[in-house]
Each structure stands twice: as C-alpha cells, then as structure tokens.
Homo-oligomer: A and B are copies of this chain.
Amino acid sequence: MNISRTDVKSQDKNDPLASMAKAFHLPENMIYLDGNSLGAMPVAVVERIQQLVTKEWAEDLIHSWNDNNWFRLAESIGDKIAKLIGAESGEVIVSDCVSVNLFKLVVAALKKQKGRKKIVTELGNFPTNAYVLQGIAKMFDGQVEIVAVERSRLEQAIDDDTAVVVLVHAHYKSSEMFDMEAITNLAHDKGALILWDLCHSAGAMPIELSALNVDMAVGCGYKYLNGGPGAPAFLYIAKKLQSSLEQPISGWWGHDNPFTFSEDYIPAPDIRQAQSGTQSVLGLAALEVGIDTALVADLKDVRDKSQKLGKLFIQLVQQNCPDIQIASPEEDDKRGSHVSIQHEQGYAVTRALADRGVVVDFRAPDVIRFGFAPLYTSYENIWDTVEHLTAIIQDGSWDKEEYKQKATVT
C-alpha cells in the first residue's frame, strides 16, 4: 500500500525529537537536506557569538583567556563531544581541521608501530583521507606504503605489516557504514592500530569508541554537530595510548606548561598534547553551542529517526520514481544519515531542486546526496522533497543549460 502524506504527518506527530527543530534557524521556503555538509544554525549561536565578540573580546580582551575560560575551551568542548561518541572525559580535544588531525594521528601511529610500513585504507572514500596519506608517504620517502582497497578486500589487506588502518565510518557518497566493531577487532588481531573518521557519523548516531576499544578517531564540527562553517575539528586518542602516541606538530599548545616558555618541548601527558597552536575562539564558541544543542537529544532517538527518514525517502522514491537508482544501502543499519541517488546529470538535478527550495548536494561524477539531520529534518520534508524530485524528473525541467554550468563548490 502506498504511503500517503497523512501517514507522514502522523510520523511527525509521534516524533520524540519534533521539538528540537525550534532550536535551529531554518530558512522559510527551504527544505534543507544538506546538514551532512553544513549543519543549520542553532538559534543560540547568535547570542553566544555576540557575547563573545562584544563582551569577551571587546571588553575583557586578554583577560578572557583566564576569566572567560578560553584557555580550556578546546578541552571542555572535547569532553562534551566525548559524550556523543562514547569516549571518556580527557580522550577528545577540539583542534585544527580534519586533514591536520589525520596527519597528526597517522604520523604518530607510524612512529609507534615502528617496523610496520603499511597504511590500509578504503579506495574511493573521502579524498582528503587519501590525499593526507599520500602526503605522509611522500614525506617519508618510500618508507611508508599505502594500501587502498575496495571495502570487500579490506580483511585480506590488513596484515602483520599494517601499522594503522584509516577508515571513514559512514561513506561520504554512498552512506554505507562499516561495522566498527568487526573492523576494529580485525585490525587489532593483526597488531594494527585503527583510526576512524567520524565526519559523517558523529552526532547522527550513538558511537561507542571506548567500548569498542578504538585507538584513534577524527571528526568534523560543521556537519551533524552544527558548529558552523569551517568549525574546528576534533580528535580522539584512547587513554591507554596517550603516553605512547606522539604527534609531530609539537607547537606550544601541546606543551605541558606553555606559559613557562621553556626552551625544550615537554608534551602534556594527556590529550592536550594533540594541540599545536591557538585555535579560533569564535569557531570554538559557535561549535560549543552546536554540541550543547546536540546533547539535549537522546542519540538513540536520533539514530532511530535518521533510519526512519532514510527509509521513508527510499520508499517514496521507489514508489514515485522507480527509475531512479538508489546509491545507498537499503538496510537501515548499514546506512548513515544521508541517502544518495545516482543520475547522470546529477548536478543539473541538484540545481533544479534548489530552484524549488530543496537544498541537497552533488558529488562528482553522478551522485546526489540527501542529508537527513534528525534534529531538524521532518518526515514531511521528505515527502515534499520526493514530490519535487518526481516532478522535475517527470517533466524534464532539470534539463536546462543554466543548470549544467558548474559553480566552484558543488
């Protein structure tokens, strides 16, 4: 039996997270399904940033490092993120961008795993991971080998010469998720360290880093954590590894006591060691609001809704545009919080949807991603989106030259 708009409205009525949407600013006449790229603005950001700028910076100036606790922000926000990813207090810190954090942790892992020269990763996942690993291999002049394989060949690829396995938890295009527990154990069985990139999962589902004995992780602040454009990233190092993993960008913020201005670097004996230099306090403050907003919701409810939104989208697409190829797993537990479809003119379709107020994104060469942010996406949003998608596919209105002219950022 076909799903009706009435069915969908009743899902919204029964949604335990329905009241969360009002914590976000959502533009009128827009269905925003790109929170997997840039999360919507939590309403409380406006006041927090105003206070930061007009009071803490303008009035309190340098005293804010102590008096407004700027100095410990990266740690205190890290502790809040820890709650979202199943880590302990003191295992997570906010720092730099994901690429820099990947670099720091992978180099640290290679040092710790001296004698092992392989880095195993997945072929075709988010490019920055591949690029950062390539840069590391080049830097170490052939002493390091990158083994990038299809997902199905991972088990075979991880061997006794593997120093570290670097994987993106939920695929940036297909949304397909790894079984974190199985792969972590696989790596450990071979004596390899595991590093999970949580960019497309943190904030959208429960994650259990400590319980699964994960060694390292990185993640992004501006997607499901709603920290704002280019929000600082985070990294996680399991407590048991903090004394033996030494990251290479040893700037003064990683020093155990930076304000002694000593000549020699003495790394902090804890997660602070992962820091390098001063971080954007504006970026940190906005991120904290995003995290505080996320912490209000139960992550089990978030995951449950995320799966239902994805399932509803897939069912409605199959019901209304059966020719469209779904490029994400149909099994709810194998899928992250976005669903992708394939279309050979995907970019033009994305633009045509935008003209109808539906914001999604395109990933070359032919993927359109529909991102569902359970804190502010409604079931009716999904209904309306598929209605628009069906219309432009059926009437061919996406097929215009103006829609095919690519912008810099797709």
Contact = CB atoms under 8 A, between A and B. Distances in A.
Contact of A251 (B100, B251, B284): B100
A36 to B, nearest CB: 10
A248 B139 contact: yes
B253 A99 contact: yes
Nearest to A250: B135
Given A40-B61, A97-B278, A99-B252, 18 more contacts: A25-B54, A27-B61, A40-B58, A41-B57, A49-B53, A57-B228, A66-B408, A71-B409, A97-B277, A97-B279, A99-B276, A127-B263, A230-B282, A230-B283, A231-B280, A259-B364, A259-B408, A282-B286
Interface string A43-56: 00110011001101
Nearest to A253: B99
A252 B41 CA distance: 25
A102 to B, nearest CB: 8
11 contacts: A25-B58, A30-B61, A49-B53, A71-B409, A97-B278, A98-B278, A100-B277, A128-B252, A228-B280, A232-B280, A261-B364
A55 to B, nearest CB: 10
Contacts of A233: 277
A135 B249 contact: yes
A246 to B, nearest CB: 7
Interface in A331-388: 354, 359, 361, 363-364
A21 to B, nearest CB: 14
Contacts of A231: 280
Contact of A229 (B135, B282, B408): B282
Interface string A157-179: 00000000000000000000000
A292 B277 CA distance: 24
A103 interface: yes
A19 interface: no
A61 B281 CA distance: 21
A256 to B, nearest CB: 11
Contacts of A131: 250-252, 254-255, 265
A348 B407 CA distance: 57
Contact of A100 (B46, B128, B276): B276
The size bracket of the interface on A is: 35 or more
A38 interface: yes
A360 B348 CA distance: 57
A59 interface: yes
B61 A359 contact: yes
A269 to B, nearest CB: 16
Contacts of A45: 53, 57
A63 interface: yes
Given A34-B61, A364-B261, A279 B230 contact: yes
Q: Taking each of A38, A103, A128, A286, which has the highest tally of chain B beta carbons within 10 Å of its own beta carbon?
A: A128
Q: Taking each of A37, A41, A261, A279, which has the highest tally of chain B beta carbons within 10 Å of its own beta carbon?
A: A261
Interface in A248-299: 248-255, 258-265, 276-284, 286
A410 interface: yes
A70 interface: yes
Contacts of A91: none
A378 B261 CA distance: 30
A96 to B, nearest CB: 7
Contacts of A327: none
A381 B10 CA distance: 67
Nearest to A101: B277
Contacts of A99: 249, 251-253, 276-277
A139 B53 contact: no
Q: Taking each of A49, A136, A253, which has the highest tally of chain B beta carbons within 10 Å of its own beta carbon?
A: A49
